[in-house]
Amino acid sequence: MRLHGAELLEIHLPVVDPIVTAAGGEEVRIVLLVRADLGEAVGWGECVAFHLPYYSSEYIEAAAEVLRHHLVPRLAAAQEPLTPERIPALLAPVHGHRMAKAALECAVLDGWLRAEGRSLADWLGGTRAAVDCGVSIGFQESVEQLVATVGGYLDAGYRRIKLKVGPGWDLEPVAAVRAAFGDEVPLQVDANCAYDPRDAAHLGRLRALDRHGLQLIEQPFGSELLLDHAELAASVETPICLDESITSVATLETALAVGACTVVNVKLGRVGGVLAARAIHDRCEEAGIPVWCGGMLESGVGRAANVALASLPNFRLPGDISESRRYFAEDITTPFTMDDGQITVPTGPGIGVEPDPERLERLCVRRTPVEL
């Protein structure tokens, strides 16, 4: 199978409840889709980069440029027929740009599996028919509003609550949620690199979270500060989870070697694609480290890939996998819905969903064919 054509589509999706973190918030999710024409089938992938380079160095405009001028042409020029396993090697000469690579890999893999009549979850080795749903809740205007918001999501059936935290918005909101809903609610916090390991007050606040029986503290320090994460992990009872720090199996190996974490958040965009995500899952399983699937405000295209990934056996904690209406009043695919706190894993060919043509036409603000 060969790449006969590709197209980049920029979609604007208004967010119903923006998630505000230490790095800012998103009121309109700008989605970059990759459409890959493989002749026998068409595949779809989603680039999860944001429009500004605050979560990572990647952002939408840069991703579109590297896809147009470097990544897509490399696959189109391949002399041998494309297979999923060959894609990372073909793209490897382009340094970085993991989110752009992941989008293209997913689009080609989706098309390849559609032609094969096989689902992504089945091809990956998924073992679950449905995955548990967790919800991520950003900074709120008040603790009272936070408690009300958490209550609404628990009533809706979500099986895990994650609170965004930062210095000054951590101990009080966590204590309030615990007081309102009890210790039995699976609760974790995500700092998005907001704390400074050289600040004694920051360290004191992180250590004080031990009293609240959290599942984990996610990424308290900057992505490169593995030794600081290791020192914190040795001084607290709450498991430390890494997100931004883990970009490959190599960075995972370093984190494990120094004791920087005992849980890993896997985001297929952050690590460079489905194959890299599966490799990290497998290495963590071998090391006895549980993983869970992170989210990046994906549309239905990216959400479908996440759900398939989360069906693998070592995804032992509920991920940031919410139903579509959590973020969007209208999605570009058939919306994902939750039943008893779970979302069904798509069983159709490829990622199991595709954009609705009418919605795609209405919500697309820019459509760019890639010259091969």
Kindly list the catalytic residues. Answer: 164, 267
First vs last Cα of the chain: how many Å apart?
A: 16
**Concatenated DSSP letters for 239-302?**
PEEESTT--SHHHHHHHHHHT--SEEEE-HHHHTSHHHHHHHHHHHHHHT--EEE---S--HHH
Say if residues 6 and 33 touch (Cβ distance below 8 Å).
no
Phi, psi values for residue 213, rounded to 5°:
60, 45
Phi, psi values for residue 19, rounded to 5°:
-90, 115
Say if residues 269 and 296 touch (Cβ distance below 8 Å).
yes
Q: How far apart are CA 284 and CA 132, in angstroms?
A: 19
Kindly give, in sequence order, each residue whose CB lies less than 8 Å from that of residue 7, ignoring residues fewer than 6 positions away.
Answer: 34, 35, 37, 367, 368, 369, 370
Closest by Cα among 13, 12, 2, 159 to 77: 2
> Which contiguous run of DSSP H or E holds residue 14?
strand 5-14
Phi, psi values for residue 370, rounded to 5°:
-100, 125
Kindly give, in sequence order, each residue whose CB lies less than 8 Å from that of residue 170, ignoring residues fewer than 6 positions away.
Answer: 189, 205, 206, 209
Vertex 161: Cα angle to 166 and 99 (nearest 5):
70
Say if residues 136 and 295 touch (Cβ distance below 8 Å).
yes
Alpha helices, DSSP H, located in the chain: 60-66, 72-76, 87-91, 98-116, 120-124, 143-156, 171-181, 200-208, 226-235, 249-258, 268-271, 274-287, 300-310, 357-363
